[in-house]
Structure 1
Amino acid sequence: MTGKELAPDVRRALQSLAGESADVVAKHLVASGQLVDVDPEAAWQHALAAQKRGGRIAAVREAAGIAAYKAGHFREALAELRTVRRMTGDDGYLPLMADCERGLGRPERALDLATSPEVAGLDTPAKVEMLIVAAGARHDLGQHDAAVVSLQVPQLRTNSRAPWRARLWYAYADALISVGRAGEARDWLVKAAEADADGETDAAERLDEIDGIVFDEVWDDEDDTTDEARDDQPHDGDDATDGR
Structure 2
Amino acid sequence: MKYSGSYIFRGALLGATQFWRVSRVFSMNDLREVTFRFYGDLKRFLPQGKRTGAFTYAVKGSPAVKDTIEALGVPHGEVDGLVINGRSVGFYEPVKGNDTIAVYPDSSKIRLRKIKRLKPKLPANPKFILDVHLGKLTRHLRLLGFDCLYQRSYKDQDIVETTLSQRRIVLTRDVGLLKNKLIKFGYFIRHTEPDKQIREVITKFSLSFKTKPFHRCLECNGLIRRISFLRVINHLPPKVSKYYKEFVTCRICGRVYWKGSHYKQLLKVVKRISV
Q: State TM-score, norm by structure 2.
A: 0.26
Structure (1/2) with the larger helix percentage: 1
Structure (1/2) with the larger strand percentage: 2
